[in-house]
Amino acid sequence: MAEHLISQGYKDASASLAGAVLEDGLRKICANNGIKLKSTEDISSLNQKLADASVYNRLTQKKVQVWNDIRNNADHGHFEGYTKDDVEEMIKGIKDFLEKCYS
């Protein structure tokens, strides 16, 4: 759906949706690795826990943080804080990341 939205020119909705998919994926990766979570965990805290547990490296942690920054800009109305190209890269990056983490 995020790909469809971006292709139709809806970069902001696409960024928000891609971020939600990322957060859901991070929660599942935590569960698969026995990492206990609180219901209030956000992408930043999930990302920190996964990196601290060496589920992935610090470079990957930085990539996830960039995607989180784009999502937060979209969710908080800072639409000038990122471009359509940023969102397209975000979507591709999240897809690749989640495929790698689930394989």
Digit-coded pLDDT (tens) for 33-46: 999 999 899 999 99
- Cβ-in-10-Å burial (0-12, 13-18, 19+) of 103 comes to exposed
| Average of per-residue pLDDT across 6-15 | 97
pTM for the full model? 0.94
If pLDDT is split at 50, 70 and 90, which confidence band does 102 have? Answer: confident
What DSSP character marks residue 83?
Answer: -
Give alpha helix (H) positions in 1-103: 2-7, 11-32, 43-52, 58-75, 84-102
| Cα–Cα distance for residue pair 84/103, rounded to 1 Å | 29
Residue 103 reports pLDDT greater than 70: no
| Cα–Cα distance for residue pair 96/29, rounded to 1 Å | 14
Digit-coded pLDDT (tens) for 77-99: 999 999 999 999 999 999 999 99
Domain residue extents for the chain: 2-102
**Amino acid in the structure at residue 89:** E
